[in-house]
Amino acid sequence: MGLKTPLYGKHVEAGARIVDFGGWDMPLHYGSQKEEHHAVRTNAGLFDVSHMTIVDLKGGRVRDLLRHLLANDVAKLKDSGKALYTCMLNEDGGVIDDLIVYFMHDSWFRMVVNAATRDKDLAWIRRHAESYDVKVIERAELAMLAVQGPKAREIAAPCVDAEWREQALDLELFTGMEAGDLFVARTGYTGEDGWEILLPAMRAPSVWDRLVAGGVAPAGLGARDTLRLEAAMNLYGSDMDETISPLEAGLGWTVAWDPDERDFIGRGSLEKLRADATRRRFVGLLLEDKGVLRNHQRVVVDGVGDGEITSGGFSPTIGRSIALARLPAGDYDRAKVEVRGKLLNVRIVKTPFVRNGQIRIDV
């Protein structure tokens, strides 16, 4: 028996197969993971992501704190509601967690961090917040829904009170806003358009019902994983962890090097790795032979060395197996993956594999 979100009853009602995820009893799928995946790519799907940890940081020096704590630079966030994807690093440049941070106003930022890393994240944030006199407030009373897909915003719009509806529909990508007791953001983890909606736990079941009645398909963690893999979005604990820097996890673009004088945690270690020509590559793979790529399979690059698949699976959109992998440095575009003693051919491809319903690689 694990922790249950306010929507647990809805999952059971909808026939979900429940699995443990970081201590939470969460829906894996509601019958067919593939159908849920396609629903998100072609119409709209609904995920319960209430297990994720929402943290509000409040205080006059909160911006200074976050410019030290996070590898991306919250100084980029100038308009209220604007969001940033970033890693939180340890001194060695390893990733403690990846997260989204929203700028609410000058003395208030909101972070959404992973469920499985909640305890260590909160401890780390609190440890650093103290000297900045910033309050760290976990918002466990909030539920979180992700409604994702080309039709998601249109179908979800009536859940936002009329007063704010138009403004919500006009939200730019990676921006959120308060709409009464809802917080609506144009963010997600699927490679599709859509919203993530934070709301009081009490209201979550009725909003869930309303979205389902509007034609949004409940989708479980299984589809969430294949969707994010196709979108080449990293999964903490698989693609990176405390021993891996963002530079070897395909997240170099989230590290803000300018201005030089900004002293964020892990910067010194990252600077060294940045100059290191033997730094590993993080790439997308497409399987050319039959089979399925899986996490931890060995990748063999002839004449170069070995690497490892960090996230592998079957892509329902492409109909082939794809993966994210960490490979030795070098200039090459083919490799082999060891699957049950056989070496299968893979091609290195530019990610994302799929975005906004479209296959983006040559197959």
Partner 1 sequence: MSELPGDLLYTSEHEWLRREDDGNVTIGVTDHAQAALGDLVYVELPELGQDVESGGDMAVVESVKAASDVYAPIDGIVVAVNEDLADDPERINADPYGDGWIVKLQPSGDIDEGALLTPVAYQTLLDEEDA
**Min separation Cβ 227 and partner 1, Å:** 11
Q: Is the peptide bond before 259 cis (omega within 30 degrees of 0)?
A: yes
Distances (CA, A) of 340 to 52, 150, 172, 285, 307: 35, 39, 46, 18, 16
Q: What DSSP designation does 252 have?
A: G
β-strand pairing of 53-58 with 135-138: antiparallel
**Min separation Cβ 30 and partner 1, Å:** 11
- 49: β partners: none
**Min separation Cβ 348 and partner 1, Å:** 22
Single out the residue of 210, 217, 188, 228 nearest to residue 36, CA to CA.
Answer: 217
Nearer to partner 1, 190 or 245 (CB): 190
Q: What is d(CA 354, CA 190) in angstroms, rounded to the nearest whole number?
A: 9
**Min separation Cβ 33 and partner 1, Å:** 5
**Min separation Cβ 314 and partner 1, Å:** 4
| Strand ranges (E), 149-241 | 176-179, 182-185, 194-200, 217-218
**Min separation Cβ 319 and partner 1, Å:** 9
Task: For residue 79, count other CB atoms closer than 10 A to its CB.
Answer: 8
Nearer to partner 1, 205 or 291 (CB): 291
Nearer to partner 1, 144 or 223 (CB): 223
Nearer to partner 1, 105 or 342 (CB): 342
Nearer to partner 1, 93 or 222 (CB): 222
**Min separation Cβ 29 and partner 1, Å:** 6
Nearer to partner 1, 28 or 349 (CB): 28
Residue ranges that bind partner 1, judged by CB under 8 A: 17, 28-29, 32-34, 222, 226, 290-292, 294, 313-314, 316, 321, 340
Enumerate residues 6+ apart whose C-beta is below 8 A from 332: 301, 304, 348
Contact indicator for 325, 307 with CB cutoff of 8 Å: yes
Contact indicator for 282, 325 with CB cutoff of 8 Å: yes
Nearer to partner 1, 34 or 203 (CB): 34
DSSP alpha helix (H) spans, 144-279 = 152-156, 162-169, 204-213, 221-230, 267-274
Token pair in block for residue 115: 């469920």
